[in-house]
Amino acid sequence: MPPGMHRWLSRLRHLMLLPLLLSASAEGEPLCEALRPRGVFRVAAADLDHRLRVGARPGDLALRNSQVTAVVRRKDGSLVDFWRNEPTPPTTEQLQGEDYVDGLWTLSPQLRDARGPLNLAAQEVRAVEAGIEALARVSLGAGVVQVLTRYQLDGELPRLRIVSRLRHEGGGRLEGVGLGDLIKWGNTDYFVEGLGRTKSTYSGRARWVGRRGAGGDLRLATEQPMAIDFQLLEVGSAPAIYTRYGSFSLSPGLEPELTRVLEYAPLPPAPAASRGALLRVVVTDEDGQPLAAKLSFQGRQGTPEPQFGSDGGLGGASRFVWSGTGRFERSLAPGHYAVLATAGFEREAARFELRLDAGQTVERSLQLPRAFPTPGWVSADLHLHQVASVDADISDAARVVSVAAEGVELAVASDHYTAHDLAPAVARLVERGQLARPIITIVGSEVSTVGHLFGHFNLFPVSGPPAVEYEDTRPRPLFAAMRAAAPNALLQVNHPRFPDLGYFHRYRLDPTSGRVPAQYAEEYEPRFDLLEVFNGIDAISEPKVRLVLKDYMHLLGRGERYVATGNSDSHKLYFNDPGVPRNFIQWRAGATDAEDARATEADVIEALRAGRVMVSSGPFLDVSVDGVGPGGRIRGKRRLALRVRILAASWVDVTSAEVLLGPEGHRVRFLPVGKGRGPVRLDQTLPLDIDGPTFVLVVARGTEALPNVYRTGTRPFAFTNPIWLEP
């Protein structure tokens, strides 16, 4: 393969999931040559085939100079892309090594009146001598306002000038009409003039707001101070930014014009760090071999908890540091710290305390031995986001290392609207000596509905972006298209109870019966394979996880044969920590721990399809009925023996287990777990009598919070898939 070809081929996997890319319609053709000198053209598929996170569709209008390209969506006049034409290093550690990444999620002009912000969907988007214009008309009750927004590149600079003119078009005088923008930049920190890095909620006035990241620093600026507001509404995600440029009284003849500039320009440098101390740590396994690991820091005796930022990459984010080889080197402010080293739930942890003085160097060597063996089982996170998703500013390399440091052995890339492959990043890291052991990867895609919202759905494995229409569609045609795009793939319903983003929430699945109301029955599609019962966002709320677990059991009682999964849905290096929760998949009975690292994609998919899965955010459940494990079936017996064996590392708490029987989840046994911290927390064989077809599963929980995750209050919780019993 020619040099660079492998990277080019991997970039093809980053195509946005846009059905129109497959069409050779006239809309995909360039504009007439008369428009070329002005840099205006219609977007074609070829303009997108090596770009990450683009929102353009063929036929949208674009501007290009020697440095940047800006794309305006034809259907509503929003600015959806603003990228560097040539590879430009990112200015955030979390994206190191990534190029050809679009720097903008969206910028949409908005009107404001007493009711709040009103989105401006343009009725006409056109190429003009000065650039691209979007024309919108909005009725505000007393009168009608026309808003004409012009997008124009500033010479050969990486700068886009956005000018909006308001015109009174009819009706009475309008008071207090304002103009602003809605801006999204993805999951990264925001900076405001005069303040530097801000928290996730801010309200004030400044002449610019910006971010560090793809393509370099990017900022939106005005000559006069604008009002800037952002408030975190969805935990774990960066908030949308709302700007306001003034408030006006509009009547015929008054046409206020407002200008702002979107540009790649350096933000002020961060303040120089005070002279600190240096910590070096080496982490190995029980055989003294390098081991991917994670360090968690806490301040002691008045020392503040370290805050490495949210975009510091593997060198530190929040209070954590990661390494693919177990070798750490980190500067810290002088003080007293407690440090915890972990490498996943199957290994022991190591704790130590530090008192650091300015200029001091401290070294530690740690071993994290395996707490218990899991031969034949692979730990997997089936729902992970990275740089290919517009809302995840994490490089492929950072994602792979963070997953490996959590002890996860298999990662499914499930980026929005695309098909992404982590395998090239794994190979590069191993080759460069930055990853001690490779992880298994599977290419997947998360199909996220737009317009008519009814959920998010993973599809894996796939060989490329599934050609499906996800906008203003319905479940049955969507699922059919997904099946057609990847006939041998698994279709997973993600976070089914999330407001607005959950399938069960949208179709009002009855939590007491598992039925969809009659008015939705024709639209709802029950044919899918996997149900994400445990999503990482719910890791701090056992009741929310149990609600979906109850949904799952009701559906099984109604004859459905879904497989329950648990995944982090991680979009960052922390918050939803990767692998919390995870799936333990029995890919081959009798395999050794060493062989687990060589499990094939086909083996894993077959095991998932069969339901040989246990979900956990801590304990490992080894459960069987007469020797048959999860996903298995026992026929012709009424008296059975259920063995419940719970394993856990000493730092993972387990206080109780429950045996749940049938679609109503009747708790037939409650099993207290002793306070011992040995690896075997419980090993009991229980009689189980049944009088009809049913199924059994086991739940385990702990009351002490996990010490190595971002969100305090995340407690261990685990459950098996069902074992089917047919007397």
Per-residue pLDDT reduced to its tens digit, 448-488: 999 999 999 999 999 999 989 999 999 999 999 999 999 99
Identify the three-state secondary structure at position 367.
strand
Q: What does the pLDDT average to over 703-709? A: 97
Report the pLDDT value the prediction gives residue 173, as an integer from 0 to 100. 84
Q: One fold for both 277-367 and 618-727?
A: yes
495 close to 532: Cβ distance less than 8 angstroms: yes
- Coil, strand or helix at 110: strand
Structure letter (DSSP) for residue 144: E
**pLDDT at residue number 427:** 98
CB 176 within 8 A of CB 113: yes
Please, what is the end-to-end C-alpha distance for the chain in angstroms?
A: 58
pTM of the model: 0.92
Q: What is the pLDDT of residue 119?
A: 86
Residue among 489, 472, 466, 479 at smallest CA distance from 417: 466
- The pLDDT confidence band at residue 118, using thresholds 50, 70 and 90, is confident
Nearest partner of 277 among 353, 355, 351, 366, judged by Cα: 355
- pLDDT tens for 640-699 read 999 999 999 999 999 999 999 999 999 999 999 999 999 999 999 999 999 999 999 999
Label residue 392 exposed, middle or buried (CB < 10 Å: 0-12, 13-18, 19+). Answer: buried
pLDDT digits over 71-112, tens only?
999 999 999 999 999 999 999 988 988 989 999 999 999 998
CA–CA dist 128, 148 (Å, integer) = 12
* CB count in 10 Å sphere of residue 472: 10
Does 602 have pLDDT greater than 70? yes
The DSSP symbol for 504 reads H
pLDDT per position as a tens digit, 217-247:
999 999 999 999 998 766 667 889 999 998 8
Average confidence score pLDDT of the chain:
91
CB 722 within 8 A of CB 694: no
Parallel, antiparallel, or unpaired for β 410-413 and 377-384? parallel
pLDDT of residue 376: 97
Instruction: Give pLDDT, residue 49.
Output: 79
Mean pLDDT, range 416-438, rounded to an integer: 96
Strands across the sheet containing 639-647: 620-625, 639-647, 680-689
Give yes or no for residue 28 having a pLDDT over 60: no
Residue 274's pLDDT band (cuts 50, 70, 90): low
Gap between the Cα atoms of 191 and 209, Å rounded: 6
277-367 CATH pick, 3.90.330.10, 2.60.40.1120, 3.40.50.2300, 1.10.10.10: 2.60.40.1120
Assigned architecture for domain 372-617:
Alpha-Beta Barrel (3.20)
Extended beta strands in 369-480, E state: 377-384, 410-413, 440-443, 445-448, 456-460
DSSP state of 57: -
Q: What pLDDT score does 38 carry?
A: 56
Residues 6+ away with beta carbon under 8 Å from 1 = none
Per-residue tokens: 519: 């008015």
Is residue 129 over pLDDT 90? no
How confident is the model over 345-368, as pLDDT tens digits? 999 999 999 999 999 999 999 999
Question: Would you state the structure tokens that stand for residue 118, as one six-digit string?
Answer: 């009103």
Q: How many CB atoms lie within 10 A of CB 231?
A: 12
* pLDDT confidence of residue 580: 98
- Strands, E, within 648-693: which ranges? 656-661, 666-672, 680-689
**Among 61, 68, 65, 63, CA closest to 44:** 61
pLDDT for position 481: 97
Mean pLDDT of 277-282: 96
Contacts of 31 (CB under 8 A, 6+ apart): 40, 41, 42, 127
- Answer yes or no: are the C-beta atoms of 515 and 548 closer than 8 Å: no
Residue 8 has pLDDT above 80, yes or no: no
pLDDT digit string, tens, across residues 557-571:
999 999 999 999 999
Question: Which CATH architecture does the domain made up of 618-727 adopt?
Answer: Sandwich (2.60)
Provide the pLDDT for residue 55.
Answer: 92
Sheet holding 361-367, edge to edge: 327-332, 277-284, 361-367
Tell me the C-alpha distance between 678 and 11, whole Å. 47
What is the three-class DSSP state of 624? strand
Domain 5-264 part of CATH 2.70.98: yes
What does the pLDDT average to over 417-446?
Answer: 97
Q: How far is CA 491 from the centre of its chain?
A: 18
d(CA 623, CA 634): 14
Domain ranges of the chain: 5-264, 277-367, 372-617, 618-727
> Rounded to an integer, what is the distance from CA 430 to the centroid of its chain?
24
Instruction: Output the six-digit token pair for 248.
Output: 């006006």
